[in-house]
Amino acid sequence: MKKAAVFIAMYLGVLLSCFSQKESQIYTRPKLVVGIVVDQMRYDYLTRFYNKYGEGGFKRMINEGFNCKNNHFNYIPTKTAPGHASIYTGTTPKYHGVIGNNWYNASTHKMMYCTSDSTKYSVGTLSPAGKMSPKNMQTTTFPDQNRLFTQMRGKTIGIALKDRGAILPAGHTANAAYWFYGKNIGHFISSSYYMDSLPKWVNTFNASKKAASYFKIWKTLYNINTYKESGADLNTFETGFKDVKENATFPYDLSVLKAANNRFDILKSTAFGNSLTTDFAIEAIKGEALGKDMHTDILTISYSSTDYVGHNFGVNSKEIQDTYLRLDKDIARLFSFLDARVGMGNYTVFLTADHGAVQVPAYLQSVHIPAGYLQYQNLKKNVIAFLEKTYKSKNLLLNISNEQVFLNTLEVEKLGLDLERVEKAVVRELLTYKNINKAYTASTMHTTAFTKGVENLLQNGYHQKRSGQILFVPETAFIAYSKKGSTHGSGLNYDTHVPLLFLGKGIKHGQTYKPTRIIDIAPTMSALLGISFPNAATGQPLEFVLN
């Protein structure tokens, strides 16, 4: 009997130990999560330039981590601010409220910038560039949930050249967000939302003149003749820099060009802006002691220069190829630092993009692919003329922006008109215009549940209190932009299909062609950390990614 009791006790002890180990394994969290957003990175930049990438950056994530090859945005508009907000909140503009980089405020009759906050003051500059906060984002991010879970002991730091790329991912509870103020200063700055003065390590970095060290010649990383994956360097589809040169071709002497291109701001539109971002991120890891204790820290990094270069030179340019080859080296440098500082197996990384981009329509036209340009001024004039002719009023149109029409609802009421009928009349008018493919009323968005197609994407991007009364969709590859350089914003594959790579602690090795959505990232990271999902998340954890 005594032996049986001893045996049972030993068995229970082993069983409890197994449960304890299993529970420990489930909730063993990485010391540091690094979220990387590459601004304007199309999925095919991974595959098109693959053979020229090194082994330590993008290829490391593919070869050691998990590659979601069919990852898409599930809303319109595919812009920078909504992209960053959606990645980290796990939901779409319909819920988080960031419906554009700027949007028309029908109450104030003014355009609103996504992160502007007049109640705050700049930290690190006398300019108003720091009067920013995440207040316009209406939901939490997974970094917010991590802060709540750890009783505010786990840190969150956001970094980017763009303010919106630093502020929105870090969320409402971040310890800090830093972005780059160029012009004659060339410093990383912040907002009083986070702090009263810059930390010592930031001041030290700014004083180091690291930014100024990139005023050098930008030439291709490798022999330009080997850049077979991009178009001719000399072409008519690129804007280039303001300078004495006639053409936008390599090399670019930034020490000479800076005077005509707003000095430090020129760095944003070169590959070196990403290098500067990496330099600052490494100093942030050291300065904030990220990943050094038992409470998971989160670092959000947005590489903004890829977007500036894409807008300036286009998807098919030698400049965009060189920017990605150099970014690959910067990411490898960051990973090497994390290996040494935090330790392999102690951190988790994901990499994605806030949107893609369309090929320069003028280039597409040159190779006989349907594409073109919208003229917003002409569109506005035509809509005003239609409303005046139909309803005998010049005051019915307030604004057209972000492919939305804002009507003056007070004027509609004053004239005794039915708003829904006016909306439908404008939709019918828009559909008669060349290069407008589809149009829908706000009433349709309110009353119809779309489950697929562009209608579903529009509905996911439609915010009842912030969006306009009519939403319209241009024809494929038609943009409201300069005929040189390119942009983004549609629900088409060139704008929605972006990379999604995971690497590190808790991540399986593999790949999938299963459809994944940008809003699945935050729930996946929340599941990895064992924390609550962001409070309005509509995405689902990608369980096949997680160990």
Per-residue pLDDT tens digits for 194-239: 999 999 999 999 999 999 999 999 999 999 999 999 999 999 999 9
Span(s) in the chain for CATH 3.40.720.10:
28-361+490-545
Mean pLDDT of 103-127: 96
Residue among 80, 156, 444, 538 flagged as catalytic? 80
- The domain 28-361+490-545 is placed in CATH, from the list 3.40.720.10, 3.40.50.300, 3.90.660.10, 3.40.1390.20, at 3.40.720.10
pLDDT, position 16: 47
| Rounded Cα distance, 402 and 519, in Å | 21
pLDDT, position 28: 79
Q: Model confidence over 134-185: pLDDT tens digits?
A: 999 999 999 999 999 999 999 999 999 999 999 999 999 999 999 999 999 9
pLDDT, position 244: 60
Q: How confident is the model at residue 417 (pLDDT cuts 50, 70, 90)?
A: very high
pLDDT, position 190: 98
Taking 60 as the threshold, does the pLDDT of residue 20 lie above it?
Answer: no
**Which helix H or strand E contains 136, and what residues bound it?**
none
**Which helix H or strand E contains 535, and what residues bound it?**
none
Residue with tokens 């983004």, as numbered in its chain: 488
**Closest Cα partner for 114 from 162, 164, 181?**
164
Span(s) in the chain for CATH 3.30.1360.150:
372-475
SS3 68: strand
| Alpha helices (H) along 97-219 | 142-149, 163-170, 200-207
Residue of higher predicted confidence among 446 and 468: 468
- Asked if 340 and 287 count as a contact pair (C-beta separation under 8 A), the reply is no
- Largest Cα span, the chain: 100
Output the CA angle 78-180-479, nearest 5 degrees: 25
| Rounded Cα distance, 505 and 32, in Å | 10
Taking 90 as the threshold, does the pLDDT of residue 15 lie above it?
Answer: no
Residue of higher predicted confidence among 247 and 18: 247
179: phi > 0 → left, psi -120 to 50 → alpha, else beta; which?
A: beta
- Asked if 100 and 82 count as a contact pair (C-beta separation under 8 A), the reply is yes
pLDDT, position 376: 86
Taking 50 as the threshold, does the pLDDT of residue 261 lie above it?
Answer: yes
pLDDT, position 508: 97
pLDDT, position 105: 95
Beta carbons within 8 Å of 149's beta carbon, 6+ residues apart: 529, 530, 531, 532
Active site residue 476: no
Q: Token pair for residue 105?
A: 């405020």
Taking 80 as the threshold, does the pLDDT of residue 12 lie above it?
Answer: no
| Rounded Cα distance, 337 and 326, in Å | 17
**Closest Cα partner for 297 from 342, 247, 357?**
342
- The domain 372-475 is placed in CATH, from the list 3.90.550.10, 3.40.30.10, 2.40.160.40, 3.30.1360.150, at 3.30.1360.150
Q: How confident is the model at residue 69 (pLDDT cuts 50, 70, 90)?
A: very high
| Rounded Cα distance, 94 and 349, in Å | 27
Mean pLDDT of 296-305: 98
pLDDT, position 148: 98
Mean pLDDT of 124-142: 97
Taking 90 as the threshold, does the pLDDT of residue 19 lie above it?
Answer: no
pLDDT, position 4: 52
Mean pLDDT of 398-421: 95
Taking 70 as the threshold, does the pLDDT of residue 49 lie above it?
Answer: yes
| Rounded Cα distance, 488 and 377, in Å | 19
pLDDT > 90 fraction of the chain, expressed in percent and rounded: 93
Beta strands in 94-134 (DSSP E): 102-105, 110-113, 122-123
Mean pLDDT of 97-118: 96
Mean pLDDT of 373-394: 93
Taking 60 as the threshold, does the pLDDT of residue 14 lie above it?
Answer: no
Beta carbons within 8 Å of 227's beta carbon, 6+ residues apart: 220, 318, 321, 322
- Asked if 139 and 95 count as a contact pair (C-beta separation under 8 A), the reply is yes
CA dihedral of 473, 476, 478, 480, whole degrees rounded to 10: 40
Mean of the per-residue pLDDT values of the chain: 94
Strand ordering across the sheet containing 397-401: 397-401, 404-407, 470-474, 436-441
Three-state SS string over 154-187 comes to CCEEEEECCHHHHHHHHCCCCCEEEEEECCCCCE
**Closest Cα partner for 134 from 115, 159, 107?**
115
**Closest Cα partner for 281 from 389, 167, 179?**
179
Is omega for the bond preceding 77 within 30 degrees of 0, making it cis? yes
